[in-house]
Amino acid sequence: MFKKKLQKMLGVVLAVTMMGTLALTGCKNSDGNDAGDGGSDANAGQDASKPTVTLMIDITGFAPLNAATQMTLSKFPEYNIVSKQWPAEDLTKTIKTTFASGGNESIDIAFVACRQLQNYKDADMLLDLTSYLEADPEWKASMSESMWEAATIDGKIYAVPWQAAYPVMICNNDILKEAGVTMSDDMSYDELVAAAKKLKEAGYAPFGIEGGVASWVLKQAYLNAFDTEEEVIAFCNGEIPFTDPRVKAAFDKAAEVFTENYFYLDEGALAATTDEITSGFANEKIACIFSTNSAAKNIIETTGIENYTIMGMPTFSNTGLHNLLGAPDVYFVPANVQNEEETIEVLKYLTSTEVMQAMVDGGAVVANANVDTSDEFYAMVSKDLDRVHVLDPVHLSDEIADYLNVSAHSEYIYNGEAVLEKLEGMRQKLQ
């Protein structure tokens, strides 16, 4: 019975995890394949007298966006609302294709990880939303203030946050109790390692993480590697070299938890799949797993773990800082929007408390500050919004972002300081 349930739910877990991964890494979408629009027949039966607003936000099996799309379709009978599937691998190509069409078509609202906005801005593909938000201060005030930084470039707002993505640690309380281990939100690196040793001695894998997002551990370590927040900001802005001893210490800690086999599958941990981690947690082989906050609900339902606690991801540091890797997903309007005023009205509705509350009910952690947070589960997965650290050295260049997101962590485990020298060379090219 469990296997059937796991197979049924795994697709949803994968979709939500993928979205969170894009938000947290800012990795670029591939342009290597033809983009399917997910709605080739969507224009059939449209009323030519009505303005058309085309959405590209829906993901099959992801309840929050499914609800947002359906509510929008029902809300605006005076518009032709066209919904197309969000193309995870080809969003950039899809948007560029509509630009190249010479105005014959447009994607009017899409979403992207905030760290990808700069690429669209550099290509002059974003509509400046600043004047609309200034004209409607209640709209702007409805979003958590900390989220706007991620949507702002050179003092102008080019997107509206909707989902606040950051990693969480889901713990099986029964395993922790059996091993005599207590986990807390403010554990130092030394305390975390001590707990991991006890869990391993008790026969459990202390932690589980899907290999494609193992870089979260590294990022948590370097975002908390310094004595002050000012120093963290300086590092993220490229003002502190990657060869700095504090950066090396962070890389060492991120490597050690893998070389000491504290992660599920031991030597194979960096290649672990979402399926393997979910199954390992469900079968009580793993004490704690890392996931995105929005994926946590689906993981709990999929694995059937009943006695659990959801905590913030550890800092993997011994400093007093407690920054959390994270970033919002944002809705943006391409600059070639066909019906601008109507599109803004739809965008306001998509980010309204009414729609955002429905998304909360579907498991998303949203940027809207006015939603009801009294639900105990939502409180657990949204409590760390205020410590999300949007700045990260992945902002410095695509080259640095690709390396930190994909290869730097694993290469450091095997090649050590050569990785820091390579990153430093990339940083110096920007000077």
List pLDDT tens digits, range 202-236.
Answer: 999 999 999 999 999 999 999 999 999 999 999 99
Per-residue confidence band for 238, with pLDDT thresholds at 50, 70 and 90: very high
3-state secondary structure of 73: helix
- Asked if residue 184 has pLDDT above 80, the reply is yes
Q: Can you tell me the distance from the alpha carbon of 196 to that of 202, in angstroms, rounded to the nearest whole number? A: 10
What average pLDDT does the structure give for the chain?
A: 89
List pLDDT tens digits, range 320-336.
Answer: 999 999 888 999 999 99
Q: Can you tell me the distance from the alpha carbon of 196 to that of 37, in angstroms, rounded to the nearest whole number? A: 46
The residue type of 187 is M
Burial of 283 (0-12, 13-18, 19+ CB in 10 A): exposed
Q: Can you tell me the distance from the alpha carbon of 183 to that of 287, in angstroms, rounded to the nearest whole number? A: 11
Q: Which residue has better confidence, 14 or 207?
A: 207
The structure's pTM equals 0.82
List pLDDT tens digits, range 152-181.
Answer: 999 999 999 999 889 999 999 999 999 999
- Mean pLDDT over 298-325 rounds to 95
Query: For the chain, which domains are there?
Result: 31-165+327-389 (3.40.190.10), 167-325+396-428 (3.40.190.10)
pLDDT on residue 298: 87
- Asked if residue 32 has pLDDT above 60, the reply is no
- Mean pLDDT over 102-112 rounds to 82
pLDDT on residue 16: 52
List pLDDT tens digits, range 264-277.
Answer: 999 999 999 999 99
Q: Are 342 and 51 in contact (CB under 8 A)?
A: yes
- Mean pLDDT over 341-359 rounds to 97
pLDDT on residue 19: 58
Q: Which residue has better confidence, 4 or 206?
A: 206
pLDDT on residue 4: 45
- Mean pLDDT over 350-378 rounds to 92
DSSP string, 351-385: TSHHHHHHHHHTT--BSBTTS---SHHHHHHHTTG
Q: Can you tell me the distance from the alpha carbon of 371 to that of 369, in angstroms, rounded to the nearest whole number? A: 6
List pLDDT tens digits, range 84-100.
Answer: 999 877 788 888 888 77
Q: Where are the alpha helices (DSSP H) in 26-86?
A: 63-75
- Asked if residue 53 has pLDDT above 90, the reply is yes
